[in-house]
Amino acid sequence: MTSTAEISTDSGTDVPRPVVADREALLSQIEANERELRKLGAERLRLYAELLDIAAIAADTQASDEWLPVGDRGDLEFRALRAEVATSLKLTEHQVGRDIGFAHTLTTQYWRVWEAFEEGAISERHARVIVDAGTVLGCDPSTDTQATRDEYVRNILPEALQTTHAQLRPRAQMRAEQFAERSLDSRNAEARTRRRVIVTEAADGMADLYAHLPAVEAYAIKNRLLQMGKRVALVDQARTRDEIQADIFTDLLLTGTPELHDALSRAGDGQVAGHEAGSGLGAVRAQVQIIGGCDALVCSLMPEPDAGVGHRKMRAPRPAPPELIGYGPIDRASARRLAGHAQAWEVVTAEPTTGRVLTVERYRPSEEMRRMLGARDAHCRFPGCRVPLARCDLDHTIDAARGGPTATDNLAHLCRSHHTLKHHSGWRVHQESGGVLRWISPAGRTHVERPPSLVRFTAPSPPAPPPW
């Protein structure tokens, strides 16, 4: 398929470089690989759909028109199945639940689209676009509704064969509206009740803040930020327009006014604006936990010089950075400002070798126990779950009704969903020393869940000596 040739460079050195022998053959092979990948993806969804059938049988709802696990028992069977798949594949339960639902809908309600996917004619993204747009047609399993779906598919599938999934999306949405069960006006009135704000973690001490709003209001907010940002950008050369808009957005939400930006823009002090505007941290009051005493706090908050790109010299591990519970490491400058405004600090003492939490100062024993477990667990202790402590229950691993003690080695935080699974499904859990939880799935698979604090509290190992 490929060959090499000696190519002369300006320096006179002959360097072997790959030369493509047959571009058409390579493209054909890539197309063949893509078709095979699509077929494998279709097979994966078929297996998901069959797993859902098993859950329906286990819930004794196989007589349902759609062969779905329904009712309270069906809900538990589905959640137990979802957790089983998620822990086996190391995926999130949310993602697995969406995939299982999509597999059922695709194979039962959009079977012509399923066939095209199975043959490799369209991608999974194309299939998802068609199914997602078809949501407005309704999920009624009746003959009339299925006939409407078939008509929608008959109109949109030829376009899916000729376009990318991005090009297909608006066409599928417009086509589906022609067959919609309810008008867009009616659905929009209901959708407005689902307005919400979501935070999604990102890398490097950042996070994404999403607001799910009606389209008119969302675009109006963006346009206002754009117009306000233009005024500041006339005199602020230190920040890009995206940075300015993000800073104005932050100040509006945390302080209620963008006056700082307006004042600085009028003064023409771009450097100050770039440093202070948009932080909004003066309006935030944090709960500060000091792991390992006040010396550890000072060490973790001290600015640290960066070695720079290309630095290869062996050195000791960096001190652990400050941590925002529920997110992860954050920058030291933000942590210093939060610690300075905090009304109180909690001092957590942990074993230096294992990281086990020993004490939390200034609290009554019962409250201290909660603080210790909170510092140890950080989030729900089901494998792969990261629901924060504020939305978790403090659960007895061995039920108190069965003689389980109210002690730190028999307590762990579980979110409400996984707390329910533990007590009402085939999932079982045993707690070992150090807060390690050993979960056993309904299929008999074992998943070991270790406290995240073992990583947060354990001192870093010194670097290995060089081999020379």
The answer to whether residue 146 is domain-embedded is: yes
CA-nearest of 233, 224, 212, 330 to 279 is: 330
The answer to whether residue 464 is domain-embedded is: no
Which residues have CB under 8 Å from 359's CB, separation 6+? 348, 349, 368, 372
Q: Where is the domain boundary, 135, 153, 182?
A: 182
Question: Within this chain, do residues 296 and 428 fall inside the same structural domain, yes or no?
Answer: yes
Dihedral sign for Cα 452, 302, 349, 352, please. Answer: positive
How does the average pLDDT of the chain come out, rounded? 77
**Lowest mean pLDDT across 156-160, 273-277, 302-306, 390-394:** 273-277
Question: Within this chain, do residues 226 and 104 fall inside the same structural domain, yes or no?
Answer: no
E-state strands within 335-399: 345-350, 357-360, 392-396
Residue 412 gets the label, from left (phi > 0), alpha (psi -120 to 50) or beta, of beta
Question: Within this chain, do residues 29 and 143 fall inside the same structural domain, yes or no?
Answer: yes
**Residue 73 confidence (pLDDT):** 84
Residues 414-440 have pLDDT tens digits of: 998 899 899 888 899 999 988 999 999
Question: Within this chain, do residues 359 and 244 fall inside the same structural domain, yes or no?
Answer: no
The answer to whether residue 10 is domain-embedded is: no
Residue 359 pLDDT more than 70?
Answer: no
The answer to whether residue 443 is domain-embedded is: yes
**Residue 343 confidence (pLDDT):** 56
Question: Within this chain, do residues 294 and 432 fall inside the same structural domain, yes or no?
Answer: yes
- For residue 231, the enclosing domain spans 197-282
| Site of tokens 């202070």 | 276
Q: How far is CA 429 from CA 58, 75, 80, 137, 456, in A?
A: 22, 20, 14, 43, 24
Residues 283-314 have pLDDT tens digits of: 455 556 555 544 445 555 555 555 444 444 54
Task: Give the rounded distance of the alpha carbon of 204 from its chain centre.
Answer: 15
CA-nearest of 225, 269, 224 to 247 is: 225
CA-nearest of 390, 384, 413 to 326 is: 390
Question: Within this chain, do residues 145 and 245 fall inside the same structural domain, yes or no?
Answer: no
Q: Where is the domain boundary, 182, 208, 241?
A: 182
Q: What's the domain count of the chain?
A: 3
Residue 63 pLDDT more than 60?
Answer: no
**Residue 295 confidence (pLDDT):** 46
Question: Within this chain, do residues 155 and 169 fall inside the same structural domain, yes or no?
Answer: yes
Question: Within this chain, do residues 208 and 134 fall inside the same structural domain, yes or no?
Answer: no
**Lowest mean pLDDT across 144-153, 193-202, 243-252, 364-373:** 364-373
Q: Give the orientation angle of helix 124-133 with respect to helix 111-118, to 10 degrees.
A: 170
Cα end-to-end distance, the chain, whole Å: 43
E-state strands within 113-241: 196-201, 207-212
% of the chain with per-residue pLDDT over 70: 66
Question: Within this chain, do residues 394 and 446 fall inside the same structural domain, yes or no?
Answer: yes
Q: What is the pTM of this model?
A: 0.59
Residue 135 pLDDT more than 70?
Answer: yes
Question: Within this chain, do residues 145 and 211 fall inside the same structural domain, yes or no?
Answer: no
Strand partners, 324: 328
The answer to whether residue 460 is domain-embedded is: no
Strand partners, 211: 197
Mean pLDDT of the 83-90 span: 93
Question: Within this chain, do residues 434 and 298 fall inside the same structural domain, yes or no?
Answer: yes
Mean pLDDT of the 45-58 span: 90
Mean pLDDT of the 98-105 span: 93
356-370 burial: b if 16+ Cβ within 10 Å, else e: bbeebeeeeeeebbb
Question: Within this chain, do residues 330 and 358 fall inside the same structural domain, yes or no?
Answer: yes
Residues 32-44 have pLDDT tens digits of: 999 999 999 999 9
